[in-house]
Amino acid sequence: MSRESRIRRFSVVDRIFHLFVMVTFMLQATTGVGRLLYTTQWGKGMVGLFGGYESATAIHSWVGIIMLIGFLVHIGYVLSKVDWKKFPHSLFNEDSLIPNLTDLKQMGQKIRWFFGLGPHPKVDRWGYWEKFDYWAVFWGMPLFAVTGLMLMYPVGASSWVPGWTLNVALLLHRAEAILAIGYLFIVHFLVGHFRRETFPMNEAIFAGSVVLEKEKEEKPAWIERLELEGKLAERAAPPPAPWFRVVYFIFGYSVVILGLYLLLILFVYRGQIEWH
């Protein structure tokens, strides 16, 4: 372990934001799926865990508000980190999460690599799938926020928009929830946990650091760029403490198991899902 040199990939703030999203999303998912499937026995049980239908609704509403506040804090944080003097370069560079044409090219290369028709693309700091992950959540949040607030305060909302938009809001909220749950618990988990390179867990998002040699395979263009700019040394990071690894292994896997369980439930009761 001590032979492997590590570099920092995620800052402490990044990791706190991810943890925040994990916790709030899982709370929303469990209360939400419980309420969605309330007509089933399972749903009643799950809702009962939260203290009944009204209680589950209240938790869902208030955790949603907390999520919204977290989202606004995140936007504020991101905007404060942008070097506006060097705009637009500070926003449209290889370290940025903003997609560009290289991502499209790399997607094509990767698909060719799937079928043995070419080499794996030399990925820089963020793979296109990671960018998609970020922006998918980023776009989902305002959708959830607006529809969620409308559904929380229907009387108030109907003084701004016609009441029949509440029907549409309910449909959008539920459909987006199913999309988010499906995407995270299938795609995000596959990529982060069940690949040969990331099995049993991609520890980077908890530990904050990655093993340099492994990162040379995962994100070669990034490491090359860091070496060229001479920034590798300043990114050196210690390995995570063993107790911390235990903690986040248990935490991470509990969330994975919970997520897969919810997926299974959604599949089993797919006939009872009415999203409108």
Partner 1 sequence: MEEGAPMKWWRFSRFVTLQVALGLILSALLPAAAPAQEEVTSAIRRYKEREASTGYYEEHEVKPRRDRPFVGVPGVMRKLFPYSPKAAQVRSRTHLADSHRGIQFYAMRRCDECHVEEGKHGHTVRGNITCRQCHGGEPIASINHYFSPLNPIRRHSYVCSKCHEGASVSFATFMVHEPKAGDPETRKTFPLLYYANWFMLLLLVGVFAFFIPHSVIWVVREFIHKPEEKPHAEGKPQDEPRE
Task: Out of 223, 256, 263, 266, point to the residue binding partner 1 (CB under 8 A).
Answer: 223
**Sheet of 209-211: strands edge to edge?**
209-211, 6-8, 236-237
> CA-to-CA distance for 203 and 209, rounded, in angstroms?
8
Task: Out of 195, 200, 247, 270, point to the residue binding partner 1 (CB under 8 A).
Answer: 195
Q: Are 240 and 10 in contact (CB under 8 A)?
A: no
Contacts of 49 (CB under 8 A, 6+ apart): 34
Listed ranges 24-32, 79-87, 129-137, 234-242: which one lies at the site for partner 1 (CB under 8 A): 129-137
Listed ranges 23-31, 67-75, 173-181, 240-248: which one lies at the site for partner 1 (CB under 8 A): 173-181
In the region spanning residues 227 to 246, those forming contacts with partner 1, defined by CB under 8 A, are: 227-228
Listed ranges 75-83, 96-104, 118-126, 240-248: which one lies at the site for partner 1 (CB under 8 A): 118-126
Number of residues located near partner 1, criterion CB under 8 A: 54
Tell whether residue 159 is a contact of partner 1 (CB under 8 A): yes
Of 126, 91, 136, which is closest to residue 221 (Cα–Cα)? 126
Cβ burial of 196 (10 Å; 0-12, 13-18, 19+) is exposed
Contacts of 235 (CB under 8 A, 6+ apart): 7, 8, 226
Task: Out of 26, 145, 152, 175, point to the residue binding partner 1 (CB under 8 A).
Answer: 175
Instruction: Report, in Å, the least distance between residue 154 CB and partner 1.
Output: 7
Tell whether residue 178 is a contact of partner 1 (CB under 8 A): yes
> CA-to-CA distance for 32 and 49, rounded, in angstroms?
13
Helix axes 12-36, 165-182, angle to 10 degrees: 120
Instruction: Report, in Å, the least distance between residue 96 CB and partner 1.
Output: 20
Residues that bind partner 1 in the complex, under the rule CB under 8 A: 38-39, 53, 110-111, 113-114, 119-120, 122, 129, 132, 136, 154-155, 158-159, 161-168, 171-172, 175-176, 178-179, 182-183, 186-187, 190-191, 194-197, 213-214, 216-217, 220-221, 223-224, 227-228, 274-276
